[in-house]
């Protein structure tokens, strides 16, 4: 039984060599753009300090119809790393509020409202 320990080591070597020859895992393939990335964007017109520290109020305009929206939000908001679908999750906390108004339309000239003279 002098050779028993050497025999056991010889049996483990092929498995060890095979484990080291396994290819390295491939990095995940880049994900296609999400639907969110393909949506149209509003135009940020202005940003104001919010009423609470580390909050802001932003004025955004829809470039198509001129609608103006004011968004109140914190400067930072914790979220998860991107999920398999590419989206992040903000959890149950409220991260902001929004208020929108249709664009102001110029008043039509009428007999009761004549145009201004130059």
Kindly report whether the global pTM for this prediction surpasses the value 0.85.
no
Q: What is the mean pLDDT of residues 91-97?
A: 74
**Residue 96 region by backbone torsions, left for phi larger than 0, else alpha for psi between -120 and 50, else beta:** left
pLDDT digits (tens, 9 = 90+) for 70-85: 999 988 888 889 888 8
Q: Which two tokens stand for residue 77?
A: 């908001």
């Amino acid at each position: 039984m002098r050779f028993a320990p050497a025999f056991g080591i010889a049996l483990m070597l092929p498995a060890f060599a095979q484990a080291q020859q396994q290819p390295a895992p491939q990095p995940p393939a880049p994900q296609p753009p999400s639907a969110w990335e393909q949506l149209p964007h509003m135009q940020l017109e202005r940003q104001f300090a919010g009423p609470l520290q580390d909050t802001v109020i932003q004025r955004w305009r829809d470039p198509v119809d001129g609608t103006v929206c004011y968004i109140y939000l914190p400067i930072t908001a914790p979220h998860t790393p991107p999920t398999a679908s590419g989206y992040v999750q903000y959890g149950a906390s409220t991260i902001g509020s929004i208020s929108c108004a249709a664009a102001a339309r110029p008043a039509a000239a009428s007999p009761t409202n004549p145009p201004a003279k130059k």
